[in-house]
Structure 1
Amino acid sequence: MAKITFKGKEVTLLGSELKAGDKAPDFTVLANDLSEVTLADSKGRARLISVVPSIDTGVCDAQTRRFNEEASQLNNMSVLTISTDLPFAQRRWCGANGIENVQTLSDHRDMSFGEAYGVYIKEMRLLARAVFVIDSNDQVTYAEYVSEATNHPDYEAVMEAVRALQ
């Protein structure tokens, strides 16, 4: 199980840690219009899944903007940002920040994604910062659990894994 800290304090992650080579588990999250979204909805496409604790914080904002920028240059790849923020807050934030290439999704209702991907922070009911790259056959090709939730992921390593699928 991945060990992470949040502002220096160790937290408990619920679910199983994923590694490259694992089959990506299904999940159900909410789109900004409250419709359900599952992994199967993007079947046949590669996916970059960026996981953030809350889109309204500095590092989460920067991470989402970075992957939005990168997404504009990707072919046949879905770029998803998942947090526990309410869908309404995600929609407002995207509109205010011109985010058009990333689909923001909420795990607030069921924590389905958090448990399936091992990023559910038990003590805070938030998701730990992580990035997953999944190929079009639902195989995890890259998994990064950021050891300190207030730090950035390794953007270069993520994009190298993405480019390997292009």
Structure 2
Amino acid sequence: MWNKIWKGIQYPSRIPFKIDRCLGTIRAKYEFQSNSQISLFSKITAPHLVTIGPNTVIDPFTVIKPQQSSGIDIGENCTLHEFGFLAGNIEIGDGVRIAQKVSMHSFNHQIDPESPIHEQDLEHGKITIGDDVWIGCDVTILKDVEIGKGAVIGAGSVVTSDVEPYDIVVGNPADRVDTRK
């Protein structure tokens, strides 16, 4: 038995999905006092700045990285699929579905031609996502964006400005193409 456990540690892809889900439930209860599932292969830096609502599922290889003293709040019944990256000050409502490889950054580098790039300060902002939002694969959401309740963000979109409730947006930069109402 220990041999199988050791191989699972050496080769994480050999750990069966059901075992990761089971251990992910234990991780959520231990780290966040939440009735959720957080994959053992997801990375959460500064967990004391992260809140995760009940029945939320965070799949493997998702990175959650709050910046400085700002936190990341994830509501109830949310799903964050594989390879997502959330960084900064982010608030996610209830029932939000986030597909694979979604990237959210609530900060940006300043652009000052008088100083070298590696010395540029960060401009901090916030990302707010309303309830019942669906975010497609490979979406990038930048700082100071508010996405309204019930919105749909199409795959591959880059969201640089606010999205009204129930709007469907696609493209780079994301533009309204329809509404769910």
TM range, smaller chain = under 0.3
- So what's the TM-score if we normalise by structure 2? 0.23
Q: Which has the higher contact order (CA 8 A, sep 6+)?
A: 1
Of Structure 1 and Structure 2, the greater helix share is in: 1
